[in-house]
Amino acid sequence: MLRVVRVVGPSDSARAPAIDSVILKPEQRRVQSALLTGVKGTAIGLMLPAPVMLRMGDTLELDDGSLVEIVVEAEPLVEVRGNDLTHLAKLAWHLGDRHVPVQILANRLRLRRDPAL
């Protein structure tokens, strides 16, 4: 089993092609330790000193110097549009007040589907 040495961001990973990819569900992206299996079958041991949020395009540098690409599985989202920017800001504030993770874009909000909302 290969061990992860560090997480490399998308801008730093242009040095070598990845030997494998790991597909993660959205709830699996925040991780500190895990046993992962790549699409091609690479066994990967992840044991980091602190939790990290893995993002699409990140790579895991392994102890042999090879890289494994992180791919995030698509998830269904709700897109919210307001009447104007003030209305959109109020919607974002109310969602934030409920500690709902929201992606804020120029003219809309995106959030995970939640039956309570």
CA angle 78, 112, 27 (to 5 degrees): 150
* Rounded Cα gap, residues 68 and 21, in angstroms: 5
* Tokens linked to 50: 């602190």
pLDDT 10s digits, 66-93: 999 999 998 889 999 989 999 999 999 9
* Model pLDDT, residue 12: 66
Q: Higher confidence at residue 6 or residue 114?
A: 6
With a pLDDT cut of 90, the percent of the chain lying above it is: 68
Residue ranges of domains in the chain, CATH in brackets = 2-72 (2.60.260.20), 77-112 (no CATH)
The pTM score is: 0.71
* Model pLDDT, residue 113: 86
pLDDT band for position 41 (cuts 50, 70, 90):
very high
Nearest C-alpha neighbor of 69 from the set 45, 47, 38:
38
